[in-house]
Amino acid sequence: MRVLITGGTGVLGRELTSRLRDHAEVRILSRSHRSEQGFVQGDLETGEGLAEATAGVDVIAHLASAADYRRPQRDVKQTRRLVATLTSARPHLVYASIVGVDKVPIGFFRAKLESERVIEASGMPWTVVRATEFHDLILRYLRPMAKGPVAVVPRRAILQPVEVGEVADRLAELVIGPPVGRARDLGGPQVETMEELMRTYLEVAGRRRRVLAIPLPGRLGAMAGVGGSMVVADGDRGRLTFAEHLRARVATDGSISHRYHD
Ligand SMILES: NC(=O)c1ccc[n+]([C@@H]2O[C@H](COP(=O)([O-])OP(=O)(O)OC[C@H]3O[C@@H](n4cnc5c(N)ncnc54)[C@H](OP(=O)(O)O)[C@@H]3O)[C@@H](O)[C@H]2O)c1
257 domain residue, yes or no = no
Domain that holds residue 39: 2-247
Residue nearest to atom 11 of ligand 1 (CA): 63
What tens-digit pLDDT sequence spans the chain (262 residues)?
Answer: 999 999 999 999 999 999 999 999 999 999 999 998 899 999 999 999 999 999 999 999 999 999 999 999 999 999 999 999 998 899 999 999 999 999 888 899 999 999 999 999 999 999 999 999 999 999 999 999 999 999 999 888 889 999 999 999 999 999 999 999 999 999 999 999 999 999 999 999 999 999 999 987 766 666 666 666 778 888 999 999 999 999 998 888 878 877 655 4
**Cα–Cα nearest to 230, from 220, 218, 240:** 220
* DSSP 8-state secondary structure symbol assigned to residue 232: -
Q: Is the CB of 12 under 6 A from ligand 1?
A: yes
Q: What is the pTM of this model?
A: 0.95
What pLDDT is recorded for position 139?
A: 94
- Phi-psi region at 89: left, alpha or beta (left = phi > 0; alpha = psi -120 to 50): beta
133 lines ligand 1 (CB under 6 A): yes
For ligand 1, say whether the CB of 137 is within 6 Å of any of its atoms.
yes
Q: Phi and psi (nearest 5°) for 162?
A: -130, 155
Gap from CA of 12 to ligand 1 centroid (Å): 7
Alpha carbon of 124 to those of 53, 91, 94, 170, 247: distances in Å? Answer: 17, 7, 10, 21, 42
Within a domain: 224: yes
Pocket of ligand 1 contains residue 134 by CB under 6 Å: yes
Measure 64 CA to ligand 1 centroid, in angstroms: 4
- Strand (E) positions, the chain? 2-6, 25-30, 39-41, 59-62, 92-98, 126-131, 150-154, 158-159, 181-182, 186-187, 192-193, 210-214, 236-237
- Identify the residue whose C-alpha is closest to ligand 1 atom 18: 10
208 Cα–ligand 1 center, Å: 34
Strands 2-6 and 59-62: what pairing? parallel
Q: Which residue's CA is the nearest one to ligand 1's atom 17?
A: 10
Residue 70 in any domain: the answer is yes
Which CATH number characterizes residue 203's domain?
Answer: 3.40.50.720
Asked whether residue 223 is domain-assigned, the answer is yes
- Of 172, 171, 219, the residue nearest 69 (C-alpha): 219
**Are 164 and 12 in contact, with CB atoms under 8 Å apart?**
yes
Residue 36 near residue 74, CB atoms below 8 Å: no
Cα of 15 vs centre of ligand 1, distance in Å, is 12
Q: How many domains does the chain have?
A: 1
Instruction: Name residues whose C-beta falls within 8 Å of residue 11's C-beta, 6 or more positions apart in sequence.
Output: 134, 136, 137, 164, 259, 260
Domain assignment present for residue 203? The answer is: yes
Q: Is the CB of 79 under 6 A from ligand 1?
A: no
- The answer to the question of residue 260 being in a domain is no
Sign of the alpha-carbon torsion through 139, 145, 149, 155: negative
